Chains A and B, each alone.
Chain A
Amino acid sequence: MGLVEKRFFTFAEPPHGMVLECGTRLGPITLAYETYGTFKGNNAVLILHALSGDSHAAGYYSPEDPKPGWWDMMVGPGKGIDTDKYFVICPNILGSCMGSTGPSSIIPKGDRAYGLDFPVVTIGDMVMAQKKLLDYLGINKLLSVIGGSIGGMQVLEWAVRYPEMITSAIPLATTTKHSALAIAFNEVARQSIMADPNWNGGDYYSGAKPSLGLAVARMIGHITYLSDESMRLKFGRRLQDKNDFSYNFDADFQVESYLRYQGTKFVERFDANSFLYITKAADYFDLGLQHGDGSTVRAFSKTRAKFLVVSFTSDWLYPTYQSKAIVRALKKNGIDVSFCEIEAEWGHDAFLLPSERLTALIKGFLDRVYREI
């Protein structure tokens, strides 16, 4: 992919702002975004990231940059999403902390961060903000909208909210609504943050951060992204750097050490309040309720996009039955839909891991929809 650059777009200046689904006006709003490839009028592909992702889907920021973007194995010249053919846009979501406006942003004309004064945003709000970005970029037709997990929710929202703009959609490992199980895990993660004394009602930007709470929240998340099988293969009951139990509460097992490491690493790059807001947005998301009077079939009634729906066998956070429900609702609307359940042991995380199968699916599907426009 080579070198890429993070850009920013600011809109919804006060007093008008953007009216959110909760009724509040928010403004100004900044979205961080990156683009790759050349826009040719009909080749725009929008990539939407999950909970902790950012606009940096592919490439490097500098020659010294040690790590490429989060989906670099999928996005780039000759890759599954071929940047020689397609113009790729990846925005950071509203409410996040990776360059877009969120609870850690400074209040307009104020001297402190929003904290809990930031309004509760929804998947719909995120998508409305992304639409503003595309208007600004002069893009009124998308060849495809692609995303996994919470990114997949945005894909579905795009398809029903702006059906006239969408030629095709690829929701990966996602759902039209969270199960009680998914909400439960999110709530435990949020409670962990809010129970950290440093959280201080969300007002911690001038002092110590609720790092412990956020680390535990991330640990919980990581358990739900893996699977029984993947944890057995990856860790089993192996001990970390020792031959015997320590008989204290250090990390004895590799799985403990892994989770602690993931938790600590996450704290360095992510804001605890953003975690609260984004997980809440995901829990509130209910496509059928919000766009079809309770019916997912009705929600998709205006959609004319071609769909590729993908699930993974060991994903217990968004199990295959939830993807099949999407497929069923699309079929009932006579929509052209392809569906594949990929055999994968890595749980929900599988959509982010290198997979020849997923790459071939996305590449073949995109080639077809591009040919057929």
Chain B
Amino acid sequence: MSIVKFENNGIRFDLQLIASWIEPGSKVLDLGCGDGNLLNFLKKQKQVEGTGIEKEEEKVAGCIAKGLSVLQGDINTEVLDFPDKAFDYVILSQTLQQVFEPDQLIHSILRIGHNGIVSFPNFSHWQVRLQLLTKGYAPVTPQLPYQWYDTPNIRVITIKDFERFSKQVGFKIIKSAAINTQDEDKRGKLITYLPNLRATYGIFQIRQ
């Protein structure tokens, strides 16, 4: 088990890990950028040229107001209009589990970006397994905090699923990390032993 320490920048551990993979000065697209925390962080720490896509008007307006370049729209359609290899990195952070056509989106990500970075909550974490096994209800965890009837998550994905998915859809995994997070995901550590059982999130860097 290796412990990765980041300075407490106020942003989530998984986002800090993603940021550590990004080359300074590169062009980055963040799909589903929310409040723009990652983009803002990358802009300040890595001097990236960042763009975000976000659905909610309020979040979009907040991002633009703080000086980020953000487009309001649906990630599945917005990715279609960018030229080939327009970005060095296209980030899909904790959104894959909400995507209707994941293979189409991954295809688009790798068309418009040299690299994709994809992260998602690991559905085979032991807590998830244990809940289903012992209680028999759809699992509710800090990483998957929704009831079955109000969840935006329409896909259940495990770390092993994504690895198999890469072979089926035909893209390369360049780098991967399994992490376990605490304190509302502010702190965390890398998991190398039994990651599919012990990690709360999987993060992958992918290429065509």
Whether B7 sits at the interface, judged by CB under 8 Å, is no
Whether A343 sits at the interface, judged by CB under 8 Å, is yes
Question: Apart from A331-B82, A332-B83, what are 8 other A-B pairs with CB-CB below 8 Å?
Answer: A340-B57, A340-B60, A357-B61, A360-B61, A361-B61, A364-B64, A365-B64, A367-B67
Nearest 10 A-B pairs (CB), nearest first? A364-B65, A368-B67, A360-B65, A331-B81, A339-B71, A328-B81, A340-B60, A338-B69, A338-B64, A361-B64
Closest to B49 in A: A336
CB distance from A53 to the nearest CB of B (A): 25
Take A360-B65, A363-B65 as given contacts and tell me if A338 and B83 are in contact as well, using a CB distance cutoff of 8 Å.
no
Q: How far is the CA of A308 from the CA of B81 in the complex (A)?
A: 17
A327, A332, A341: which contacts B57 (Cβ < 8 A)? Answer: A341
Q: Which residues of B contact A341 (CB under 8 A)?
A: 57, 72
Whether B51 sits at the interface, judged by CB under 8 Å, is yes
Take A341-B57, A364-B66, A364-B67 as given contacts and tell me if A334 and B72 are in contact as well, using a CB distance cutoff of 8 Å.
no
Whether B86 sits at the interface, judged by CB under 8 Å, is yes
Take A357-B61, A361-B61 as given contacts and tell me if A336 and B67 are in contact as well, using a CB distance cutoff of 8 Å.
no
A333, A337, A357, A371: which contacts B71 (Cβ < 8 A)? Answer: A337
Interface size class of A (residues with CB under 8 A): 20 to 34
Q: How far is the CA of A308 from the CA of B60 in the complex (A)?
A: 12
Whether A12 sits at the interface, judged by CB under 8 Å, is no
What's the A-B contact tally at a CB cutoff of 8 Å?
61
Q: Which residues of A contact B57 (CB under 8 A)?
A: 340-343
Q: How far is the CA of A361 from the CA of B64 in the complex (A)?
A: 6
Chain B positions near chain A (C-beta within 8 angstroms): 49, 51, 57, 60-61, 64-73, 81-83, 86
**Centre residue among B49, B64, B68, B71 by max chain A CB count within 10 A:** B64
Chain A positions near chain B (C-beta within 8 angstroms): 306, 308, 324, 327-328, 331-334, 336-343, 357, 360-361, 363-365, 367-368, 371
Take A332-B81, A343-B57 as given contacts and tell me if A327 and B64 are in contact as well, using a CB distance cutoff of 8 Å.
no
Q: Which residues of B contact A338 (CB under 8 A)?
A: 64, 68-71
Q: Is there contact, CB below 8 Å, between B64 and A308?
A: yes
Q: How far is the CA of A165 from the CA of B82 in the complex (A)?
A: 25
Q: Which residues of A contact B70 (CB under 8 A)?
A: 338-340
**Centre residue among B65, B69, B73, B83 by max chain A CB count within 10 A:** B65
Q: How far is the CA of A371 from the CA of B44 in the complex (A)?
A: 13
Q: How far is the CA of A339 from the CA of B70 in the complex (A)?
A: 7
Interface CB pairs A-B, < 8 A, 15: A328-B81, A334-B82, A336-B49, A336-B69, A337-B69, A338-B64, A338-B68, A338-B71, A339-B70, A339-B71, A340-B57, A340-B60, A360-B61, A365-B67, A367-B67
Q: Which residues of A contact B83 (CB under 8 A)?
A: 332-334
Q: Which residues of B contact A339 (CB under 8 A)?
A: 60, 70-73
Q: Which residues of A contact B66 (CB under 8 A)?
A: 364
Q: How far is the CA of A308 from the CA of B69 in the complex (A)?
A: 8
Q: How far is the CA of A364 from the CA of B65 in the complex (A)?
A: 4
Q: How far is the CA of A341 from the CA of B73 in the complex (A)?
A: 9
Q: Is there contact, CB below 8 Å, between B72 and A371?
A: no
Q: How far is the CA of A342 from the CA of B58 in the complex (A)?
A: 9
Closest to B112 in A: A331
Q: How far is the CA of A173 from the CA of B60 in the complex (A)?
A: 17
CB distance from B177 to the nearest CB of A (A): 30
